Amino acid sequence: MLEMLDQNILWWHWVILGFILLVIELNTGTFFILGLAIASVLVGLLDYWLQFSFTTEILLWLAFSVVFIAIWYKKFRIKQISDSGQSNYRLDTLGTITKDITANSRGEVVFDIPVLGNTKWPATAKEDIAKDTRVVIVQINGQLIEVKSIN
């Protein structure tokens, strides 16, 4: 069987396989099959110049494929970035007072976007702020958020 493949699989078969894999890659857009296509064309060109056996061609194709896929994973893969557990508040985050705040005492505020994973927070202020007043974060002290009105 290997003798038959060794006699019938020529260098241009590898190049054609590479172009077929390239067309498949163009339709999928993953860049994964691109490494297989480049490896196939490279084996075809090496076979044209050096006349390898079919077993050597398969081993070269596998080795080149693994190298190209490893390079793709190392250099070009998109890294997933997670903000889980991170402080994702900004000082310009807006909210609305739901419980009146008197100067230097606690009230409650609901923010438009989550602050540290929650929209409802106990808050304090250096001035009196009435319910339904729009506020902005001044600073965060542990579990207590200091706000000020944005009149």
pLDDT of residue 118: 82
24-80 tens-digit pLDDT: 999 987 778 988 999 999 999 999 999 888 899 999 999 999 999 898 888 876 666
All domains in the chain, ordered by first residue: 2-76 (no CATH), 94-149 (2.40.50.140)
Mean pLDDT value across residues 5-20: 87
User: Is the CB of residue 68 less than 8 Å from the CB of residue 58?
Assistant: no
d(CA 131, CA 109): 9
Q: Tell me the average pLDDT across 96-125.
A: 89
Mean pLDDT across the chain, nearest whole number?
85
